[in-house]
Chains A and B, each alone.
Chain A
Amino acid sequence: MLESIYNYFIMDGYGIFIWVAFGLSFVILAGLFVQSIRLFRSSEKALEDLQIQVRQDEK
Chain B
Amino acid sequence: MINYFANPTRFLKIAKGLQPIVALSAVGSILTGLYYSLIQSPPDYQQSETVRMMYVHVPAAWMAMFCYVALACFSSVLLIWRHIVADILAKSTAPIGACFTFLALATGSLWGKPMWGTWWVWDARLTSVLILFLLYLGYMVLYNAFDDRSRGARAAAILSIVGVINVPIIKFSVDWWNTLHQPASVIKMDGPAIHSSMLTPLILMAVGYTSLFIWILLIRARAELNLQKVHALKIRLAKV
A→B interface (CB under 8 Å): 11-12, 14-15, 17-18, 20-22, 24-25, 28-29, 32-33, 36-37, 39-40, 42-44, 46-47, 50-51, 53-54, 57
Count chain B CB atoms within 10 A of each CB in A28, A33, A43 and give the residue with the most: A43
Write the chain A residue with the least CB distance to B60: A25
Contact residue among A20, A24, A28, A39 (Cβ-Cβ distance under 8 Å from B223): A39
Known: A21-B53, A32-B216, A42-B223. 16 other contacts (CB 8 A): A12-B49, A14-B48, A14-B50, A17-B114, A18-B50, A21-B56, A21-B106, A21-B107, A22-B38, A24-B103, A28-B103, A33-B212, A50-B230, A51-B233, A53-B237, A57-B240
In the complex, 15 of the A-B residue pairs with CB atoms within 8 angstroms, ordered by the A residue number, are: A11-B52, A12-B43, A17-B110, A18-B49, A24-B106, A24-B110, A32-B95, A32-B216, A33-B212, A37-B219, A40-B223, A43-B222, A43-B226, A47-B226, A50-B230
Write the chain B residue with the least CB distance to A42: B223
- Please tell me if the beta carbons of A21 and B223 are within 8 angstroms of each other in the complex: no
CA distance A51 to B236 in the complex (A): 11
**How many of chain B's residues have a CB under 8 angstroms from any CB in A?**
39
Write the chain A residue with the least CB distance to B107: A21
B→A interface (CB under 8 Å): 34, 38, 43, 48-50, 52-53, 56-57, 60, 95-96, 99, 102-103, 106-107, 110-111, 113-114, 212, 215-216, 219-220, 222-224, 226-227, 229-230, 233-234, 236-237, 240
- Please tell me if the beta carbons of A25 and B237 are within 8 angstroms of each other in the complex: no
Chain A residues within an 8 Å CB radius of B52: 11, 18, 22
Closest chain-A Cβ to B38's Cβ sits at a distance in Å of 7
Closest chain-A Cβ to B114's Cβ sits at a distance in Å of 6
CA distance A57 to B234 in the complex (A): 12
Closest chain-B Cβ to A40's Cβ sits at a distance in Å of 4
- Please tell me if the beta carbons of A29 and B110 are within 8 angstroms of each other in the complex: no
- Please tell me if the beta carbons of A54 and B50 are within 8 angstroms of each other in the complex: no
CA distance A36 to B218 in the complex (A): 10
CA distance A40 to B215 in the complex (A): 13
Given contacts A18-B53, A25-B60, A54-B233, are A12 and B48 in contact (CB under 8 A)?
yes
Chain A residues within an 8 Å CB radius of B53: 17-18, 21
